[in-house]
């Protein structure tokens, strides 16, 4: 009888799973903005840079880390392409925005990449939107040539904020 009770307790403990935590994936939040896109066949930043080389524009899908987001509305973001290069992302016809807390999360974007000249005024405006210091804003004195992207759809994937859990 004692053996039967012992095996019953062991079976109960094994079937209950002990003290397991939720899988990490359940803490990952995915949001979609604009057109309903998927991350299938998205390029990584290195593939994007290689494919874009020598072109004026490229319709593509890209997955990269969010480097900055408009702190006021989420009406633009920048993505990391490599250690020295970021790309400004705007949203087609200003029809949608992304979460203002997307910094550091992974974004998949689909749309058109181009090379763009960003005026001093526009650069300063972006810095104001990202709550930069006046010193940083005043340091902008020349236009910048950089990658730009007009997204038709965006997927943001990252850890859920503490207040959302």
Taking alpha carbons only, the member of 62, 102, 98 closest to residue 82 is: 62
Which stretch of DSSP H or E encloses residue 79? Answer: strand 76-80
Please give the structure tokens belonging to residue 29. Answer: 């939040």
pLDDT for position 19: 47
d(CA 139, CA 142): 9
Q: What SS3 state is found at 158?
A: strand
Question: Which domains does the chain carry?
Answer: 28-159 (2.40.50)
pLDDT for position 162: 53
pLDDT for position 100: 94
Contact between 56 and 117 under an 8 Å Cβ cutoff? The reply is: no
Contact between 164 and 101 under an 8 Å Cβ cutoff? The reply is: no
Q: DSSP string spanning 86-137?
A: EEEEEEGGG-----TT-TTSEEEEEEEEEEEEEPHHHHHHHHHHTT--HHHH
Q: Assign 3-state DSSP to the chain and report helix, strand, coil percentages, each to 5.
A: 30, 35, 35
pLDDT for position 132: 87
Residue segments in the chain with a per-residue pLDDT below the cut of 70: 1-26, 160-165
pLDDT for position 131: 81
Give per-residue pLDDT as tens, 48-89: 999 999 999 999 999 999 999 999 999 999 999 999 999 999
pTM exceeding 0.85: no
d(CA 37, CA 162): 27
């Amino acid at each position: 009888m004692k053996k039967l009770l012992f095996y019953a307790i062991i079976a109960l403990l094994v079937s209950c799973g002990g003290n397991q935590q939720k899988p990490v994936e359940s803490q990952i939040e995915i949001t979609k903005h604009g057109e309903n896109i998927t991350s299938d066949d998205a390029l990584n930043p290195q593939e994007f840079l290689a494919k874009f080389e020598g072109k004026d524009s490229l319709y593509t899908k890209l997955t990269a880390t969010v480097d900055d987001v408009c702190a006021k509305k989420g009406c633009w973001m920048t993505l990391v392409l490599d250690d020295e290069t970021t790309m400004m992302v705007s949203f087609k016809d200003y029809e949608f925005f992304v979460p203002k807390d997307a910094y550091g999360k992974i974004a998949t974007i689909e749309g058109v990449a181009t090379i763009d000249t960003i005026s001093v005024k526009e650069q300063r405006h972006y810095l104001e939107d990202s709550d930069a210091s006046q010193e940083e804003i005043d340091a902008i004195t020349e236009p910048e040539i950089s990658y730009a992207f007009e997204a038709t759809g965006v997927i943001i994937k990252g850890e859920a904020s503490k207040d959302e859990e």
